[in-house]
Structure formats: C-alpha cells, structure tokens
Amino acid sequence: MNEWAIIWANLILILAIVFAFSAMLSWIERRLLGLWQDRYGPNRVGPFGVLQIVADSIKLLTKEDWIPPFADRAVFVLAPAIVAVTTLLAFAVVPIAPGIGVVDLNIGLLFFLAMSSLGVYSIVLGGWASNSKYSLLGGLRAAAQMLSYEVFMGLALMGVVMLADSFNLRDIVAAQENLWFCVPQILGLATFAVAGIAEARRLPFDLPESENELVAGFHTEYSSMKFGLFFIGEYVGITLISAMIVTLFFGGWLGPLLPPLVWFLLKTFIVVACFVLLRAALPRPRYDQLMAYGWKVMLPVTLVNLLITGAVVLSTA
C-alpha cells in the first residue's frame, strides 16, 4: 500500500512538474527570444506576462475544432495524441533526483530512444491524414529527417553506455560522480545535442514545420486543441531532450550545496535556454544540407567517437 502511494505521488509530481514547465516554456521561450532580439516579448498578462499561457490555453480550448472534410478523420484525430503520449511516456524513465522518478528500468535509455522514435509517427501521420500538399511535404520531411538523425542519436549515446557500463539511467548518473560525461564524451554530447534538436523539431532543424515555405508544415490543417497537443508535444519534447542531455552528460542531479531536485531543474533550464538561443541565432538549413550534414558529418563523427571511446575503455579495463 505504502509503495503504491509513493509511486502515485511520484507520478503526479512528475506529471505536474513536466506539464508546468512545458507550459511555462512557451512563455519562457518568447521572453528569452525577446531578450535576445532587443524587445520584450509577452509581458502584459499577469506579472511579467507569466499568465500568457493561461490566456493562450483559454483561446486554444475555445476555438473551433475544425476537421477538414478531405482529411482522414480517424488518423487525423489520433496523430496529435501520439506525440504528447510518447514524449510523456519517455519521461517515466528520466531520473529526476534520488527517489524521484516513475520507473527505474534497467533499459531506461533504450526505452527513451524507442519512445522518441515513436514520436515521428505522430508527425508523419498528421501530415498524411491532413491530405493537403503542405502537410504532406512536412510529413515527408519529418520522416526523412527523423529517421536519419535517429541513426546517430542512438549511436552517440553508446559512448556514455560504454563508460557507465549500464543502460540504466540512474547508474549512468551515478557513474558521473567524479567526472561529468560532457568531458570525455564531448563529441557524443555535440552529436546527441544536434540529433536531439532535430528530434524535437527545434528551429535550426524545424524543416517539417518551416513556416516560410510550408505554411505550418505537418500541422497546417490542425486547429484548436489538436494544434495545442502538437505544441505541448513539442515543448515536452524540448524538456525531455534537455533532461536527457543533463542526465547523460551533465551529471543529472549531481552538484554541490543545493538539493538534487534543484540541481536537475536548474541544469535542465540552462539546456532549454541554449535551445532557445539556437532558435534566436541560427537560420534554417536547406533540406539537402540537412541530410548531408546528418549523414556525411554527424554519423562519421559519432562512429569515430565510438571507436575512440571503445579503445580507451578497452585499454583501461
């Protein structure tokens, strides 16, 4: 009985933290973008505009929920739910602090990779079911981009797995007690961060959405809360990737003085801010550049990193 109570408390706490943070992220992102572009961003609703998300949600919930007559109804309705569900499910394995976390899977890392891969279905199906050319183009791009960046996303993490000798995320954090993996795995960090941005469809790699060519890409036909679900999925995705970068490369909850939970949240926030900075600074590459970058630069770098890490681990073992 007591065990169940702890699990439920954990579940609700994590869901609350993730949702609150992801919801606030839409405001944080706009304020940070404003800060870096010499303007203010939303600062009208509530103190500093923190209640902007409330206003936005009310607007999204009360808008007409339009399903185009030419769309594939069932898939169209299902698609936005997938991305929200998969990203939230992936949070189950994220070790937020000692004692805080939903499950302690011994293959936590694989579960995370599996869930983030499943997220692509949402985008592709959403683009396909919309039955319009812009959505389809967005979905196509999403499929190609995510599949090619997934390849080295997994491989980039294998160096971490070699060093920690475990797929369990808590063991990986514990293995960084002396030295965070961002030092020995700097190449892994770089490639994983790039893959993560592509996976979360964030700005330098937001080709599935690319609003200046494809209207809104895969979610062109979506309105109201279905559109909102895509957005929640995207923001939870950013939070997830940031949390994973922190867990795998920056020592998770480890840190002096402050309590572990605070350290984890602080580090995650800094990584999220870096994501926003990327959006503020970098333009979107052309589609073939994106593909070439993935296959011709990132994949070889990942493999080299893997070879070096393997050699070092073998020689020191």
Partner 1 sequence: MWNSLKTMWIVFLHMFRRRVTIQYPDEKPNIPPRWRGRIILSRDPDGEERCVACYLCAAACPVDCIALQATEDEHGRRYPEFFRINFSRCIFCGYCEEACPTDAIQLTPDFEMGEYNRKNLVYEKEDLLIDGTGKYPGYNFYRVAGATIGGKNKGEAENEAPPVDPHSLLP
- For partner 1, the binding residues (CB under 8 A) are 34-40, 277-278, 280-282
First-to-last alpha carbon distance for the chain, in angstroms, is 44
Query: In the complex with partner 1, which residue's Cβ is closer, 39 or 212?
Result: 39
Nearest to partner 1 of 38, 177 (CB atom): 38
> At its nearest, how many Å lie between partner 1 and the CB of residue 40?
5
What is the number of H-type helices and E-type strands within the chain? 12, 0
Closer CB to partner 1, 19 or 269, in the complex = 269
Taking the complex as a whole, the smallest distance from the CB of residue 118 to partner 1 amounts, in Å, to: 30
Give the residue from 236, 225, 226 showing the smallest Cα distance to 58. Answer: 225
Query: Minimum distance between the CB of residue 33 and partner 1, rounded to whole angstroms?
Result: 10
Q: Which is nearer to partner 1, 32 or 83 (CB)?
A: 32
Question: Rounded to the nearest whole angstrom, what is the least distance from the CB of residue 80 to partner 1 in the complex?
Answer: 31
What percent helix, strand, coil does the chain show, rounded to 5?
75, 0, 25
Work out how close the CB of 144 gets to partner 1 at its nearest, in angstroms, rounded to a whole number: 22
Q: Which is nearer to partner 1, 191 or 210 (CB)?
A: 191
Between the CA of residue 201 and those of 14, 138, 208, 218, 247, what are the distances in Å?
Answer: 23, 11, 7, 11, 21
Residue in the block written with tokens 């890490």: 309
Distance (Å) of CA 166 to CA 162, 173, 251, 252, 309 = 7, 10, 15, 15, 15
Q: Tell the smallest beta-carbon distance from residue 116 to partner 1 (Å).
A: 24
Q: Is 97 helix (H, G, I), strand (E, B) or coil?
A: strand
Looking at beta carbons only, is 36 or 287 nearer to partner 1? 36
User: Residues for the chain: how many in total?
Assistant: 317
**33 near 279, Cβ under 8 Å?**
yes
